[in-house]
Amino acid sequence: MIHSHQKVLVTGGTGFVAIHSILQLLNRGYQVRTTVRSLNSRDKIFEMLKNGGITDFSQLEFIETDLTSDKNWNEAMMGCQYVLHIASPIFLRLPKNEDEMIRPAVDGTLRVLKAARDSGVKRVVMTSNFGAVGYSHKDKNSLITEESWTDPNEKGLSTYNKSKVLAEKAAWDFIEKKGGALELSVINPMGIFGPSLNEDLSSGFELLKKLLDGSMKAIPDIRLGIVDVRDVAELHILAMEKPQAKGERFLALSGGTMSLMEIVKLLKEKMPYVTTKAPAKSLPTFIIRLSSIFNDQAKAILPLVGINRNASNKKAKTILGWVPRTNEEAVTASVISLIKWKNLNI
């Protein structure tokens, strides 16, 4: 497939989903420009793409931008038909005041959409997350679909997820009122696993690492919706290419959920040598509730405990012909990466 006349801007090129998207776009023959907060990241991106099998970088260019500033966004969009807006603002510490996280998320999204509209971009595909979809869905028996929205004022909602809901809502609102000819599609991934192209760990890896390196003594009752990063990247590209994705949001998950206990059982069966330090017993939720009064780690996982993640991936499959890998494949690929990059001492 040669798309050599078509240029795609990918925001936040060093990120886990973004780098896999760049890899697939280059393999499909697109020209790619990616934004980085500093041009010093170029070597890191070349390195990751090499690890992913890319040898020709002639179709890749870089531009230095930041979601918190207008600088260079119009230049970044120039000549691009499509934008995959995957970057989110980076926080080195959790802000004391939630507006410190929410404003940059919302403003950064609007900054990208305005520049895209003004530069004549055809379509933006934006990465949101499941946190914007399913956290207010109270009916345990019904499937969560793209029709669901998380209430940004939901009790116990993390500031991060609140920022994702509000940024996505702001994006749809902008397209409706001020978008002009610009089209929008949104991808809402669940827990992202799969192969890492370098030793940097995304959050799914941290969880697996804790599960396997002995730092968790018992297994909390957390169920995850899971998706492989390669499939999330592919879904962004399908949503970019296919006319019928215009104005739609798509949940990205492999199908069905897995509990942490099921993940440990799977790995015991498939890769027993990685589970020698893994806990075997479950951690009752009431203990997490109690500990969360004193313990930051318990406080951090409490909102994840017992959450309904029973969501449907039917829309992406039927409308876009998306065929995701299994949960098992995504999880084992992550563990193989943990070992490959020496992040797991077992």
> Would you say residue 283 lies in a domain?
no
> Would you say residue 59 lies in a domain?
yes
Rounded distance between C-alpha atoms, residue 13 and residue 23, angstroms: 10
What one-character-per-residue DSSP string does 42-99 give?
A: HHHHHHHHHHTT----TTEEEEE--TTS-TTHHHHHTT-SEEEE------SS--SSTH
> Would you say residue 273 lies in a domain?
no
From 114, 162, 164, 209, active-site residue: 164
pLDDT of residue 302: 67
Identity at 53, one-letter amino acid code: G
Contact (CB, 8 A) for 240 and 24: no
pLDDT of residue 1: 58
> Would you say residue 39 lies in a domain?
yes
Q: How far is CA 101 from CA 36, 68, 89, 132, 143, in A?
A: 20, 11, 8, 15, 30
* Count of all residues that appear for the chain in the document: 346
Phi, psi of 294 (to 5 degrees): -110, -20
260-291 in b/e form (b: 16+ CB < 10 A) is bbbbbebbeeebeebbeebbeeebeeeebeeb
pLDDT of residue 148: 96
Overall domain count for the chain = 1
pLDDT of residue 273: 94
pLDDT of residue 2: 62
pLDDT of residue 298: 65
> Would you say residue 322 lies in a domain?
yes
Q: What is the pLDDT along the chain (346 residues), one digit of tens a residue?
A: 566 679 999 999 999 999 999 999 999 999 999 999 999 999 999 999 999 999 999 999 999 999 999 999 999 999 999 999 999 887 767 778 899 899 999 999 999 999 999 999 999 999 999 999 999 988 878 899 999 999 999 988 889 899 999 999 999 999 999 999 999 999 999 999 999 999 998 888 988 998 999 988 889 888 899 999 999 999 999 999 999 999 999 999 999 899 999 999 999 999 999 999 999 998 887 777 777 777 777 676 666 777 778 999 999 999 999 999 999 999 999 999 999 998 887 6
Tokens 């610009």, residue? 182
The two three-digit tokens of residue 191, written as one number: 């827990």
> Would you say residue 334 lies in a domain?
no
Contact (CB, 8 A) for 237 and 230: no
> Would you say residue 214 lies in a domain?
no
Q: Is 209 marked active-site?
A: no
For the whole model, what pTM was predicted? 0.94
> Would you say residue 20 lies in a domain?
yes
The CA-based dihedral angle spanning residues 74, 76, 81, 85, taken in that order and rounded to the nearest 10 degrees: -100
Outline where DSSP puts E strands in the chain. Answer: 7-10, 31-36, 60-64, 82-85, 123-127, 183-189, 191-193, 219-220, 223-228, 249-252, 257-259, 282-283
The two three-digit tokens of residue 285, written as one number: 């939720």
pLDDT of residue 289: 73
- Cross-strand pairs, 111: none
pLDDT of residue 167: 97
The CB density around residue 27, as the number of other CB atoms within 10 Å, is 12
The two three-digit tokens of residue 320, written as one number: 């876009």
CATH number at residue 147: 3.40.50.720
Quote the domain boundaries for residue 43.
7-201+225-257+309-326
pLDDT of residue 320: 98
